[in-house]
Copies of this chain bind each other. A is one copy, B any other.
Amino acid sequence: MTDGGLSRRRLLGVSGTAAVAVAGAGTAYAVSRGDDAGAAGAPSPTAAPALALDAAVPFRGEHQAGIVTPAQDRLHFVALDVVTTDREQLRALLEQWTRAAERMTAGAEAAPGGLVGGGPNRAPEDTGEAYGLPASGLTITIGYGPSLFDDRFGLAPRRPAALRELPAFTGDQLDPRRTGGDLCIQACANDPQVAVHAVRNLVRLGFGVVAVRWSQLGFGRTSSTSTAQATPRNMFGFKDGTNNLKAEEPEGLAQHVWVGPDDETGGGAWMAGGSYLVARRIRMHVEVWDRTSLQEQEDVIGRDKKEGAPLGQTKEFDAPDFARKSPDGTPAIPMNAHVRLAHESHLRGIRLLRRGYNFTDGSDGVGHLDAGLFFLAYMRDPGRQFVPMQRALAKADGLNEYIEHNGSAVFACPPGLADGEHWGQALFA
């Protein structure tokens, strides 16, 4: 790995550590860090996991990876502020990040030289904690916040019309330390050490140009983004995201997720093929929830707890029947149930691609776990999708008694990169 690029040996997956290509997400291929990691005779620390989880996800393509990529199980998300006012420094960092991200998603160190190639008198080019670990399905997705388009970098004329700060919603309890950001990086992987390593090395490369504003780890995806994935459970113990958009619905994605070629004109035209990301940190008061009855829980969600079927139906994927009555004449799915209010039929057809994660950030100092859902959703236009949906939920959702939105941000995630292209190129064109 001192040849200044990805070694062919690596890309052919014949290194010493477990690295076998298994088709997972399209044309996934597998590589691993550390050509000689197995040379000491010690077993690979990654010998046990299933190999599909080790594989690499292609970095380049029509869209950024990490959006419709089948959701990996671990997340490290970071929002950053730009601390320089030098436009060229920012542009150069985005280019440098592209190279590093492409290398890391392929299972290589952040920069040529890796741990030791720079020699004893230089800081290593890679921090090393993922050395020897496989690519682990790592995706790195970048986004630009509305504040990036102020007057610091001359980007105001490039701001897409759809990229606006979210309005305040009823019940919001936003903590400024968990809100906003000039840039975001979403790193998802099947090994948390790989996701954390990716963010850390990008942050390191950005020293003096960007600083971490806030970050969030997630440990269990809460939505399936592919029909090949079962629906996971959130911290309320319910299946979450049953009705999510899936990678296998290209028409739905074109309609609800990807920015169309005519959506933005003028300065924002570079967003075609991109998507908008809304991030919300939703604290869930699990201790209160855990003391409520099963009936109350199911009424609040509008699904049964075990199977995840809409109330009044029997199977998870049965369509909810909002007109159905219980034997006592009341609606089978209560009027303020989450599934009713969040359903497209009550939102004039609005849908989102949810890609959130469960979190538990220790405890809150008064005896409770600081647990919840880090809601991430991709969409074509937040003002026409997330905003009306959240207004409807904030007003009446029975869940509001048990949750609290305490972090919020919105980002424009540009389209994918063609060969030789780098982040920021279209933005600064």
Contact = CB atoms under 8 A, between A and B. Distances in A.
A44 B224 CA distance: 12
Given A48-B53, A219-B192, A43 B124 contact: no
Contacts of A76: 360
Contacts of A53: 48-49
A383 interface: no
A232 interface: yes
Given A363-B214, A371-B200, A129 B234 contact: yes
A42 interface: yes
Tell me the number of copies of this protein.
2
Nearest to A38: B230
Interface in A28-71: 40, 42-45, 47-50, 52-53
Contacts of A363: 78, 212-215
Interface string A234-266: 111110000000000000000000000000000
Nearest to A367: B211
In the complex, which of the residues A50, A118, A295, A360 has the most CB atoms of chain B within 10 Å of its own CB atom?
Answer: A360
Contact of A233 (B40, B132, B231, B361): B132
A427 B358 CA distance: 37
Contact of A50 (B49, B219, B237, B315): B49
A75 to B, nearest CB: 11
Contact of A129 (B40, B52, B358): B358
A115 B306 contact: yes
Contacts of A308: 40
A287 interface: yes
A277 interface: no
Interface in A100-130: 115-116, 118-124, 126-130
Interface of A: 40, 42-45, 47-50, 52-53, 74, 76, 78, 83, 115-116, 118-124, 126-132, 177, 191-193, 196, 199-200, 203-204, 207, 211-217, 219-220, 228-238, 286-287, 290-295, 297-298, 304-308, 315-317, 358, 360-363, 365, 367-369, 371
Which 10 pairs, one residue from A and one from B, show the smallest C-beta to C-beta distance?
Answer: A128-B237, A211-B367, A120-B295, A192-B219, A45-B230, A193-B220, A212-B363, A42-B230, A129-B233, A215-B363
